[in-house]
Structure 1
């Protein structure tokens, strides 16, 4: 089959759809991961972050979403811990979803005490050991948490995939 050149607008229309999100991964000074409990998705635990707005970079999204969801104004430098790819899930999310997980570093006790949640998105936050999170979380979601935590400790970013039915 011969290759046919298409103008960019037409070519892009032939490509798979994808959306993107970005978030910050924090721990306390004892190394316990910090997560927020979503008011949607049946109380799923997640990191401060969300979907990219038009014109934003992943880093800008992570910092903005963190501020909106927790009140934490993050001023550190971008350090990518991992990317996360989720396939098109039909009606649940009709596009591929690509995530960027950045290192937020360690939160002090004062920063944790000052967290203010957006009640429309999250109803609680918590810090737990990995063993404690494993008992609380869906196995696929915990695997993602454990991989990101390992990436932080080793300095080696990870690439994660989730298939149909996984988040």
Structure 2
């Protein structure tokens, strides 16, 4: 029996849905991870980044979103340290969510003093040790932080999956 090929639009309609985000992972000179508190959830801490716009690459998204959310103009080279996959969460988010986490390097005290947050998106930023972050984050979000931090320190790349409790 010969193969029946679907037109591209019909075939694409059969595939799982996914959205994508990209961000930069920074630490300070003491190695403490830098995170932003989302305004829409007092429990959600994030890295500078966001959802991809049409036509953007993950790298372009990470750099653009970092600038919009913090005022930091990142000029380093792209170095992927992690990919993150979140399963579809029913009606709350009816698509898989795929993230690209890039190494933003180390923020100096001067850069940290110059951070300007977008008040519509984030209410504050913090630098904490991993032990301190564990007390402030959901277990799934903290597990992702630990994996990304470990990959960064090792000069490696990691793949992380999360369920619905981010």
Q: TM-score range by the shorter chain?
A: over 0.9
1:35 aligns with 2:56: no
Matching residue of 1:166 = 165
8 Å Cα contact 1:86-1:166 kept in structure 2: no
Distance 2:128 2:95 in 1: 32
8 Å Cα contact 2:43-2:136 kept in structure 1: no
Matching residue of 2:133 = 133
8 Å Cα contact 2:43-2:137 kept in structure 1: no
Distance 2:16 2:147 in 1: 27
8 Å Cα contact 2:25-2:102 kept in structure 1: yes
Across the aligned residues of Structure 1 and Structure 2, the Cα RMSD in angstroms comes to 1.2
Distance 1:2 1:145 in 2: 49
Instruction: Kindly report which structure 2 residues correspond to 1:10-159, keeping only aligned pairs within 5 A, or say none.
Output: 10-159=10-159
TM-score (norm 2): 0.96
Q: What runs of 5+ residues in structure 2 fail to find an aligned partner?
A: none
- Residue 37 of structure 2 aligns to a residue in which SS? strand
| 4+ runs deviating over 6 angstroms | none
Q: Shift of residue 2 of structure 1?
A: 6.6
Number of residues of Structure 1 aligned to a counterpart in Structure 2 = 166
8 Å Cα contact 1:89-1:95 kept in structure 2: yes
Q: Shift of residue 155 of structure 1?
A: 1.2
Q: What runs of 5+ residues in structure 1 fail to find an aligned partner?
A: none
Distance 2:6 2:157 in 1: 36
